[in-house]
Amino acid sequence: MKNLFSVEGKVALVTGGSRGIGLMIARGFVENGARVYVASRKAEDCAKVAQELSAYGDCHGIAADLSTQAGAAKLAAEVGKHTSKLDVLVNNAGANWGAPMAEYPDAAWDKVLALNVKGVFHLTIACLPLLEKSASHADPARVINIGSIDGIQVPMLETYAYSASKAAVHHMTRVLAMQLAGKRITVNAVAPGPFESKMMAATLDRFKDAIVASCPLGRIGEPEDMAGIAIYLASRAGAYVTGAVIPVDGGISTR
């Protein structure tokens, strides 16, 4: 039981891992003994984060554009050059777009759905060979998709494509969980509430007091909250959980 929440020695890929929620998860994995590959669009951001986290453990950066199927395949191939297996895939890379309904552009749907939904699907499929090499009956490989409570409840702002995309991620998580269970791969989603991140910065600047007031636990999320749920799902403690969508929001989505 003392190793129930251990991720030591596991190999993880975290997309969108250079900032925000992805960085919180990557740091949690690295500091607890996992080897982590951090992916994001900008090579300099990847290199900076890899250097920073390498002070605490084993971390490497890989630049990748996951808005296309070719980009997903390229990232999986690059990871495969460095490791023969992948224990954990965290699909965190995402985009947002807010605008009034009457002005909401078609380009927003194309950009947001391409990365938030198609990107998750394409990278998961591209990484299957590496995940299958890690998977076993006792210790399945893990896919952790980052959704949002905006995919559970109506969001505060007019982010039509984003909230729809996250609801799609939640349901795709259940579908993939059923499809991949036979390969000994679990697929779960985390639905974060408010956390400090670039994507949330404008919202927190305008509405932080109201958000905190609406939260039953009376605060926004801390990095340890996000690292903790990812470590749980990636460790032996989460080995029998698949197809779940877990809100990490201080209770906001219960209202």
Q: What is the mean pLDDT of each run of 10 residues along the chain (255 residues)?
A: 95 96 98 98 96 97 97 98 98 95 97 98 98 97 98 93 98 98 98 85 82 93 97 98 98 93
Instruction: Calculate the CA 126 to chain-centre distance.
Output: 16
What pLDDT shows up at residue 205? 81
Contacts of 1 (CB under 8 A, 6+ apart): none
11-248 homologous superfamily:
NAD(P)-binding Rossmann-like Domain (3.40.50.720)
Instruction: Look at the chain and count its residues.
Output: 255
Phi, psi at residue 161, to the nearest 5°?
-65, -40
Q: Looking at 4-70, which runs of residues are DSSP E strands?
A: 11-15, 35-40, 58-63
* Cβ neighbours, 10 Å, residue 235: 21
Catalytic residue among 37, 160, 162, 232: 162
Asked if 37 is an active-site residue, the reply is no
Continuous segment of H or E residues that includes residue 230: helix 223-234
What is the spatial distance between Cα 161 and Cα 233, in angstroms, rounded to a whole number?
Answer: 27
